[in-house]
Amino acid sequence: MTAIPDTVRPSRRVSIRGLNFALLIFVVLYAMIAVLQPNYLEAGLFMNFLRRAAPLVILACGQLYVILSGGFDLSMGAVVTLVVLAASMLIGGDPAMTWPVIVALYAMGLAVGLANGAIVAFLKVPSIIATLGTMLLVNGLALAWSGGAPRGDLPDNFRNLGRLVLRDVPLVGTLPVAVIILVGATLLAGWGLHRTAYGKRLLAVGDNPRAAELAGVPVKPTRISAFVVSALAAVTAGILIGGFSGVSVNAGRGLELQAIAACVIGGAQLLGGRGSVAGALFGSLSLFALFTLLNLLGLPQALRDSLQGVILIAAVGASVLRHRRST
Amino acid sequence: MSVDTLSSGRTRRGFRDLPVPLVVIALAAFIYVTAALATGQANQISLTGLSGLLQRTVALGLVGLGQTFAILVGSIDLSVAALISTVAVLASYLMQGDAGMIVPAILACLVLALVVGVINGGLVACWGINPLIATLSTGLILQGALAAGFTYLGGRVAPEFQALAYQAPFGVPLPVLLLAVLAIVAWFVLAKTRFGAHLYAVGGNPDGAKLAGLRVERFVLAAHVIASLGACVAGLYLAARLQSGTPWIGRDGVYDLESIAIVVIGGTALSGGKGGVLGTLAGVLLFASLDASFNMFGVDAFLKQVLRGAIVIAAVAVYAVRNKGHVA
């Protein structure tokens, strides 16, 4: 009986420490934004900030599942591109088609997730190669299907998921629909990871797949499910992105790396076993706050990539140092 | 490069993996010939056609040679694509069509590659950062700096430098000779020198190598430097070939993923310690044959991308599926 709390407690303490780290970064960065642009402290602009950050947060939550299971999902950005292009072509501006098409989009996401998972679990291809391959594949499919240029049109009821803002809501004043989706997705991800036996199994698989297998965890289905969660998150993010930035063939470019960076900033350990949804949430908010800050400072957009590289190294490097000190 | 050297290089490491490069080369030849015959372009199987095929292998082959070293020590280099772009742009920016600047530009590019390699190696070996993340990040940093610094296409390489990419002494294109020479050097280093043997030892079992008294960090660092230098030479070749470098030349070529894929197809284990450059050359030949075949069949560019993705996965799966344990 004593063994169980002993094994549970350290991991919880670590996840809280990771959360504090990301939360701290976010607060500092947002404070810097507020210094430059004081009206970012108003509820309305904060809600708008959350609305624009929503896709990244949702992507990070999905990516977190794969990272905790010990892998990477690099196909997320391609799925976002596919979703945006497919939505515009399938809906073709007809509002009545919106909901059936959204179901179809989730079916595509499911297919990509299952394919990723099966390639990793059954063909034993390392996930970084497997998902890079599906990234090429999905991107190529999306472009071949659309002929390389966006076609079609997104009707308002589709775009509203990303850009509609509810007015006169008590307490907060304005409430974008995307923020509701953000909160729902985060709660769902947190519940799945921290409140279910499935979440514990996922962590066990990521920490030590052989041990998890011997303990009776169905390793392959668990691993596949992580990729499915990630792909479905990418579809959700794609729908939001299609909503507020419209149709573009570059809609998803680079998002997979941002999602990984967000998870790492949030204290998730690469190659599995440790991390939390709250960490991923604040990690992605930190990253987005940083991008906002760069914009406010008037730095070239291109430096975003460089900065993201520095942050990735710093975040992983810091966790390596922390880990080294604790052992 | 002949069958002789292949077997003499491999016998001491066991016969089990002897045929991998041969099988891959046979497959490449089969695909190429079938495509040429099926599309009625039998003239592709002439000397000119084959020399064109070899020319296709150069850029990826050069990156692949370097990548082989990184993977052999159990690391990986995802920054090669960005480094290729950076080198190509830097070379054409420094030369500005002036033949006198050829040597300084090449030196500057080599120094840049050296720095990137040392940074990659330092992050991985000394700091202990996951190589995927470390090299992905350095790639991002390079790409971002490149996009911020070179928004317009300034500069072009010197005509004399460009001529190097198109010369063909004795009927063999000079770049192909360059690749062959570098491949022989790489093969020699890996198969015949103490340094090479140590690289295998470090990749096969880092803890064991450390206990045996090897400075593991130094070998990982050296392998990353070699990987960066390979990318640098590839970038210089592309700049010469295309007259000027563009900031997206590496990304569009998917050199990061494809160089890893050809190394793995050639039988080098992703976990390190097993494989060699001959397999990598076979892998690049396979990719070039596939590419040429797609062109002969007139496959649409986007569809080509789809097929490439599928082929990379399938190729790695052929080896990986035999693994007993779980991979991530």
Whether B235 is covered by a domain: the verdict is yes
pTM, 2 dp: 0.83
How does residue B328 score in pLDDT terms, banded at 50, 70 and 90?
low
Cross-chain residue pair A129–B313, CB shorter than 8 Å: yes
CA distance to partner chain B, nearest, from residue A69 (Å): 8
Q: What is the pLDDT of residue A20?
A: 67
**pLDDT above 60 (res A310):** yes
Residue A28 touches partner B, C-beta closer than 8 Å? no
Whether B326 is covered by a domain: the verdict is no
Cross-chain residue pair A306–B304, CB shorter than 8 Å: no
Cross-chain residue pair A129–B323, CB shorter than 8 Å: no
Closest CA to A65 of A198, A182, A181: A198
Contacts of A310 in chain B (CB under 8 A): 137, 141
Task: Give the Å distances, CA to CA, from A61 to A189, A259, B131.
Answer: 6, 8, 23
Per-residue exposure over A153-162, b if at least 16 CB sit within 10 Å of its own CB, e if not: bbbeebbbbb
Whether B328 is covered by a domain: the verdict is no
Whether B325 is covered by a domain: the verdict is no
Number of domains in chain B: 1
**pLDDT above 70 (res A92):** yes
Cross-chain residue pair B257–A310, CB shorter than 8 Å: no
Whether B155 is covered by a domain: the verdict is yes
CATH number where B215 lies:
1.10.3470
**pLDDT above 80 (res B255):** yes
The residue assigned the tokens 């789809």 is B306
Residue A318 touches partner B, C-beta closer than 8 Å? no
The Cβ of residue B252 has, within 10 Å, a number of other Cβ atoms equal to 10
Interface test with A, best of B137, B248, B257 (most A CBs within 10 A): B137
Min mean pLDDT across A165-174, B70-79, B116-125 is at: A165-174
Report chain A's mean pLDDT, rounded to a whole number.
86
CA distance to partner chain B, nearest, from residue A252 (Å): 16
The residue range of the domain holding B7 is 3-320
Contacts of A305 in chain B (CB under 8 A): 140-141, 143-144, 147
Interface test with A, best of B67, B75, B129, B260 (most A CBs within 10 A): B129
**pLDDT above 60 (res A7):** no
How does residue A297 score in pLDDT terms, banded at 50, 70 and 90?
confident
Contacts of B138 in chain A (CB under 8 A): 309, 313
Q: Give tens-digit pLDDT for B310-326.
A: 888 888 888 777 766 67
Contacts of A71 in chain B (CB under 8 A): 328
Q: Give tens-digit pLDDT for B157-179.
A: 888 888 888 887 777 888 999 99
Q: What is the pLDDT of residue B153?
A: 64
Q: Decide which of B296 and A173 is more confident.
A: B296
Q: Give tens-digit pLDDT for B184-201.
A: 999 999 999 999 999 999
CB pairs under 8 A between A and B: 164
Cross-chain residue pair A209–B312, CB shorter than 8 Å: no
A-proximal residues of B, 141-200, CB under 8 Å: 141-148, 151
Min mean pLDDT across B40-49, B97-106, B129-138, B297-306 is at: B40-49
Domains of chain A, earliest start first: 13-326 (1.10.3470)
Cross-chain residue pair B326–A213, CB shorter than 8 Å: yes
Whether B176 is covered by a domain: the verdict is yes
**pLDDT above 90 (res B120):** yes
